Structure 1
Amino acid sequence: MRGIVLFFCSLSLVACQDPAPPPVEGTVKYTNAQWWLDGDFAAGERCAQDGLLVACPAEPSLTIDLEGGFVIPGLAEAHNHNIDNNFGFTRMNPEYLKRGIYYVKNPNSVASDYQYVEEDIARPQTIDAIFSMGGVTIAGGHPEKLYVEFLSQMPAYMGRDFDSLNSDAFHLIATEADIAPTLDLLQEQGAQFVKTYLLFSEEFERRRDDEAFYGAKGLSPALHLALTQAAQARGLRVSAHVETAADFAAAVASGVDEINHLPGYFVRDVATTEEAEAKYLIPEDMANLAAEKNIAVVTTTIISTNFYQDNPEQLEMVKAMQVRNITALKEAGVFLAIGSDNYMSTAAAEAQHLVDIGALEAHEVLDFWIRSARRVIFPARKIDCLQPGCEASFVAVSEDPRLALPLPETITYRLKQGYELN
């Protein structure tokens, strides 16, 4: 959520995109390409009809030469809030599509604004996205302060106060009795999953009633556990915001589906590297437990660069901890979803940043990036594959993306549900 500052610092002209042409009637054959197959590429051809990949007929309606391109499924943005409203969606939709990102997850948004983007989301010519609506926290917890004191001064939320934002941008609970009515309201608002907040939960009692910690606190581990179990009992997946290693442990103990952020993406309340490591590094046994519970972790490493522009030494320390945390999670077998949480950017920047800091190699990032779409956004859809029966959505690039991640200038062809997006 903290990358939200960047979104409003530079308001620009709305980028419009011409509507995609209608799909060709009949079957389209795509030839002369290398097709993604479980981390490798295989030469061949694919055919599409009615938005799906199908077995190729003897005589297709149209044949398209992909000129030797490397073809991968559409990519994902596993954590961003930059499509909260109509302005954000209109600006970011073409930015995502030109980078081959078709699927976006928004873990905290203003429920009442969803009506302005609902008709534009999830068309063949646009990104597909899911929304949690407002996140669940305690009184005075994150993201209450963010919305009430900061965003209420920005154009998209001008004039909004606590009363109008409460139960819309965030939901405040204090006891287990508050959980059911909060989930009732979220489902009424159309939430497709639940966003929860754990911030310095190891200090919950100290922070709960102290105004000095306004915006820097969240749910207690016990209340978070009850909330997670109640949401999952309704068929709602749960994504938990964490700050510290203790928060990570509380999220794992709750059995969440997904953890948003690596601990230590924003280092606070420590004076030395040793203190930072004690507070923010994920222990090996906890990484192993997250893997056993099949919990995904969203990377969001690039947002740290926003916080330490005047302190490069601190940034290097944070990067080093990010590499250690990612290494521990990868070695444990935890799924790493590629998401940026950076308002003015996309998961493409996050993917490259993971390579640049030495956390993952390009082929590892690509594999996680492709699989993120189905793993954490649309688990019921066949969008991470390029075989008959999978959705006819893919991106062709001129260079092997295992060696250099896709860039807009290397993307030569885009297809989404049978619609050509070029």
Structure 2
Amino acid sequence: MKQLLLGLFSFTLLASCKTNVVNHAQIEFTRGQWFNGTSFEDRTVWVKDGVLRFFEGEVQSDTIIDLGGKFVTPPFAEAHNHNLESDYKLEERIKSYLDNGVFYVKLLSSIKKRIDPLMHHYNKPTGIDINMAHAPLTGSGGHPIALRKRFLEYGHFDGLFNTLKEIESHGYHIIDTKEDLEYKWEEIVSFKPDFIKINLLYSEEYLTRKNDTAYFGKKGLDPSLVPDIVKKAHDHNLRVSAHVATAHDFHVAVAAGVDEIAHLPEIHNGKPIDLEDAKLAFQKGVVVVTTASLVTKNKEKPNYGALLGNVRSNLEILKNEGVTMAIGSDMYNDNSVDEFQLLHSLDLFTNLELLKMWCENSATTTLPYRKVGFLKDGFEASFLVLDQNPLEDIKNINQTITLRVKQGVILE
């Protein structure tokens, strides 16, 4: 039996345990302060077959790791990004995610043909776990068609697609009518998405923008179709995440019963969300992903202070109504760390609320059918060991990580 003290013998711990943790050995973690959802409690926890056990197993522990009173939390998650679809700086991105304790990433769109050759990097104990929507549903000329067109012209799709028409169904699905939804549904699910993403942009101006080429890429679905899409997805056991831009988009999505709002609305427009819509989101259990740091793209604008204030105000409305919020950035060069820091800077959430948003809420909306996000008996043995108590000082929590364990594997 190996008995190791975390800290002084951390190098020995990593070297000796790296190959002993998986499947057959049982590891006993002693003297850890484990997060129970509200506070930290001193307890001994066992790991066997990649699962947490809060009672001593039948097999004698192969290794005992003394955590020395350090603090144990679930890992973090990134509930909205798009930066794992290509091999550009991929290993660097994955390392950054893991180094910062972010184990789970929700990809709100991806091209299956492009990401399939990269899947060996994901969904394994030594890598990050991802959940993917693949091609989002939008209207004719809607988002992200202009984005796909621009990337095609940049050469990002060389070897995959030669024309914008070829990208359709791989990079987006155009749904303009109920007949389109019925006709294209089998093709949509043939890509085996983990969930369905729909795009709503300025839905209050849908008829104005519908046939106006000036709004190419700046519009989305017909809002009247959203209830039918949600029902269709739910009938096939698929959750629905809605990209929204405005308070009206938020209203349409929540009223239709989507499972997740992929963006805080009104980030760039500066309008309040309706209190009744926030109440309805709580009643229906809708998760709102923050993406608040997108407001920093307006830093050079004279109204930036007002936009930031509106972001805070809308977050406060959601918080006061008890709406579940998850941390996601939608920033290509982020991994939810800067998003977390912006939320912390708003002086709106307590340390406990921020911790639960990043660990629990973000993980469960990213991987809703997995036992992740909590340190409970029978849940996946994925956790972080921290030097300091985040309930007392959470600002640089990602810099206090001394040990990372994913599905029972101790990561270097």
What TM-score do the two structures reach when normalised by structure 2? 0.90
Could you say which residue in structure 1 is the equivalent of 2:275? 284
For the pair 1:26 / 2:25, whether they are aligned, the reply is: yes
User: Unaligned 5+ residue runs, structure 1?
Assistant: 1-17, 268-275
SS at match of 1:302: helix
Q: Which residue of 1 aligns with 2:38?
A: 39
Q: Distance in 2 between matches of 1:246 and 1:49?
A: 49
Structure 1 residues 86 and 176, CA, compared in 2 at 3 Å: closer, same or farther?
A: same
1:51–1:218 distance in 2 versus 1, CA, 3 Å: same
Q: Which residue of 2 aligns with 1:136?
A: 137
Aligned mate of 2:330, from 341, 345, 362: 341
Give the equivalent residue in structure 1 for 2:232. 230
CA contact (8 A) 2:390 2:397 kept: no
Q: Give runs of aligned pairs for residues 284-323 of structure 1, distance below 5 A.
A: 284-306=275-297, 308-311=298-301, 313-323=302-312
Distance 1:323 1:317 in 2: 10
Instruction: Say whether 1:414 aligns with 2:412.
Output: no
Paired amino acid for 1:85: S
Amino acid at match of 2:411: L
Partner Cα separation in structure 1 for residue 267 and residue 162 of structure 2: 29
Matched, 1:325 2:314: yes
2:194 equivalent in structure 1: 192
**Matched pairs, number:** 390
CA-CA distance at 1:406 after TM superposition: 4.9
Distance 1:22 1:290 in 2: 46
Write out aligned runs for 1:44-123 (5 A): 44-54=43-53, 55-57=55-57, 59-87=60-88, 89-123=90-124
One of 334, 342, 350 as aligned partner of 1:361:
350
Which amino acid in structure 2 is aligned with residue 22 of structure 1?
A: T
Q: Which runs of 5+ in 2 are unaligned?
A: 1-14
Give distance in 2, aligned partners of 1:21 and 1:155.
Answer: 41
Query: Secondary structure at the residue paired with 1:86?
Result: coil
| Residue 240 of structure 1: aligned partner | 242
Report the counterpart of residue 364 of structure 2 in structure 1. Answer: 375
Native 8 Å contact 1:85 1:116 kept in 2: no
Contact 1:35 1:43 in 2 (8 A): yes
Structure 2 SS opposite 1:78:
strand
The residue identity in structure 1 corresponding to 2:245 is E
Paired-residue identity, %: 33
Letter in 2 for 1:178: D
* Compared CA separation, residues 258 and 319, structure 1 to 2 (3 A): same
1:180 aligned partner: 182
Give the secondary-structure state (helix, strand or coil) at the position aligned to 1:79.
Answer: strand
Q: Deviations over 1:172-206 (max 9, x none)?
A: 11111111343322321121101101111011100
Q: CA deviation at 1:344?
A: 0.3
Contact 1:130 / 1:192 at 8 angstroms: preserved in 2?
yes
- Rounded to whole Å, the distance in 1 between the matches of 2:219 and 2:177 is 16
Distance 2:276 2:229 in 1: 25
Paired residue secondary structure (2:365):
helix
Label 1:49 to 1:154 Cα distance change in 2 as closer, same or farther (>3 A): farther
- Cα offset for 1:246? 0.5
In 2, the alpha carbon distance for the partners of 1:88 and 1:39 equals 38
Taking the aligned partners of 2:168 and 2:92, their CA distance within structure 1 comes to 27
Deviation at 1:155, TM superposition (A): 5.4
Paired with 2:120 and 2:228, the residues of 1 have a C-alpha distance of 34
Please give the alpha-carbon distance, in whole angstroms, between the structure 2 residues aligned to 1:77 and 1:44.
29
Tell me if structure 1 keeps the 8 A contact 2:327–2:362: no
Aligned twin of 1:8: none
* C-alpha separation in 2, matches of 1:153 and 1:345: 25
Contact 1:85 1:113 in 2 (8 A): yes
